[in-house]
Amino acid sequence: MSTADDKNRAVAAAILPLVGGARNIESVAHCMTRLRLGLRDRSLVQDGALRALPAVLGVVEDDTYQIVLGPGTVARVSPEFEALVAEGRGHSAEDLAAAGARIRESRKAANATPLKQLLRRIANIFVPLIPALIGCGIIAGLNGLLINLHWLPSVTPALAAIASGFMALIAVFVGFNTAKEFGGTPILGGAVAAIIVFPGVAKIDAFGQSLSPGQGGVLGALGAAVLAVYVEKWCRRWVPESLDVLVTPTLTVLISGLVTVFGLMYVAGEVSEAIGEAATWLLGHAGAFAGFVLGGLFLPLVMLGLHQALIPIHTTLIEQQGYTVLLPILAMAGAGQVGAAAAVYVRLSRNGSIRRTVRSALPAGLLGVGEPLIYGVSLPLGRPFVTACVGGAFGGGFVGLFNMLGVQVGSTAIGPSGWALFPLLQGNRGLAETIAVYAGGLLVGYATGFAATYFFGFGRALLTEWNVGPVTPSDARRSRPRSDEDDSHVPTPA
């Protein structure tokens, strides 16, 4: 660096702390004679010390804070000042959060396709049911524990009724929410869906087979309610207003009900049965590979908005088997995120801002709430998001492997993940064995996510850029070699 360049940088370094430091600078510009600064907090400026600098010819306050340096000088000092501001700001958790917010918004815009909007509407049908699924699932788990321990035999039948009542009528709630989501009358959707769980359907033959109550489950209820919405809207257009209150609901329930009984229940029943058989076969024959793929790809599916297609599948499996074997595998994606975040904490040891973000978001991540870690840490950094997926893949592969070995690990509800899933675990073996396999999967996800991120999550450029704290102007001056003769050009505050 030449003597003239060093002098200009020294002038900029002398000015910066007197205007509040790099964090106080919002914008930097210059005209023929003045350095124009946009300030966050005007009160941080030390006017007297600033005016006393030999290089400063004066200050002017307008919409920006203007420091008069003179023609020629300002054009040379301004780039040096901007460089010092960039160095002084460093990278913080706020920068990551801003990057994460931009990614979130871009994904939201990209997810506004017809298919993804349909999946979002389907999610809106099932998400309101999650609190009841969780509550009833925990009660079912508690009841199972009491039965295994032979405790409170007079209470367990009541707990079984409490836990099972909602699941017995879940089709009605799905029909109600479906009609509401698609713009129909909710109670008519519920009325049509109630046909599916009515015991009297056992007396009806369709396609040469007797129907069974509940056949078709939530998928049948979903289809029946959508059909009811379209029938209702058709009636609203063509039925005279004077007859609407009588004719529209009657035709809606009658037409939709007949199609449901003699078509939808059978078709939806076949689809539901195929889903259950496919899940059982997949995890029984290729569990480790399937778990590896599902655990590794779940977070990208979330980013694409395609994970919502799994909600009806989870609910169908819970209806059929009492638990979904897919959710514990998918939960491993969150374990990979936790491990990756811990590695970020260790690797970025000098960036206190990001480390504080990791510390604050980790408890939520352990409980299965991954958004703060995804959008606040791993995704904006780029490569750590990929290595987090690797951790999820190995955790999912671990749980899937035990499915191949005959130990099914399932969840009686959807929604919770991480440690919050422990009270909802259920499988085909004892509770202790089920918990042990799930806990082992979490540990594998944590460890693999950490190791993959620690060793492969940071290139040299990424570490150089992010593993720094805020740099002060004095740090910048001290880190720059200067000859003795250059010191004479450094202006000092009076």
- Side-chain-side CA neighbours of 328 within 13 Å: the count stands at 35
CA distance 126 to 86: 48
- Report H helices in 305-382: 310-321, 326-330, 332-347, 352-366, 371-373, 379-381
DSSP-assigned beta bridge partners for residue 205: 210
Q: In terms of Cα–Cα distance, which of 452, 341, 347, 343 is closest to 393?
A: 452
Task: Name the one residue in this structure whose structure tokens are 């590695």.
Answer: 343
CA distance 169 to 129: 12
Q: Kindly state the tokens that stand for 137.
A: 């699932």
Marked catalytic residue, from 31, 136, 235, 389: 31
- Asked about 389 being catalytic, the answer comes back as no
CA distance 235 to 229: 10
CA distance 348 to 359: 13
CA distance 493 to 417: 58
Task: Name the one residue in this structure whose structure tokens are 């904006």.
Answer: 380
Q: Kindly state the tokens that stand for 379.
A: 């995704």
Helix %, strand %, coil % of the chain (to 5)? 75, 5, 20
The one-character DSSP state at 293 is H
CB 440 within 8 A of CB 359: no
CA distance 340 to 374: 10
Q: Kindly state the tokens that stand for 432.
A: 């202790």
Active site residues: 31
